Amino acid sequence: MKATARPKSREAQAERMREVWPGLKPLTVFSDGRIAWVGPVRGFQMSYKVSIVWNPAKAIPPLVFVRQPTIAPRAGTGWIDIPHLLYNPESPEASALCLFDPEQNEWRSSMWISDTIVPWASEWLHHYELWHFDGVWRGANAPGPISIGAGMNRPEKELQNVQGA
């Protein structure tokens, strides 16, 4: 029987982040147990100020938000057309990056945020810059539409398959 790796504690994650990404500073530890790091992550040609928020008490993976410069849709498109974005309809500029397929269990609490989430965010920003240039997303894709907008433009039968209906 295969042993299951133990989840990393908030303290262990914070220490590892300090060692691997010293520019990502722990912003705060919230009363509900969340921890947030803020600092630079490089894309293809630019550096972005991001925040990474994680609550080890919840079964939710860390979320990455781009703070500066803010991400934006390509000319002639909307926020729902940005690939691999966890779209927030109430505040699109506060949408988190979609870095992996959660249904495939690609991130687990036994993994280091510094070794997975941060490099994945850098890779996402790299692909975002290229997408912004020519409209082609070169990164990996999970099954289903690449963006909310792409899902809305699919034939009804295909949409039902994506939604599992």
Task: Decide if pLDDT at 146 tops 80.
Answer: no
Residue 39 maps to a domain: yes
**Which tokens belong to 131?**
């997408």
Residue 108 maps to a domain: yes
Neighbours of 156 (CB within 10 A): 6
Residue 2 maps to a domain: no
What is the pTM for the complete model shown? 0.85
**What is the per-residue pLDDT across 57-87, written as a single tens digit (0 to 9) for each?**
887 899 999 999 999 999 988 999 999 999 9
Instruction: Domain count for the chain, please give it.
Output: 1
Residue range(s) defining the domain that contains residue 85: 10-163
* Residue 123 DSSP SS3: helix
Q: How far apart are CA 63 and CA 86, in angstroms?
A: 9
Question: Which residue did the predictor score with more confidence, 91 or 147?
Answer: 91
Per-residue confidence (pLDDT) for residue 33, from 0 to 100:
80
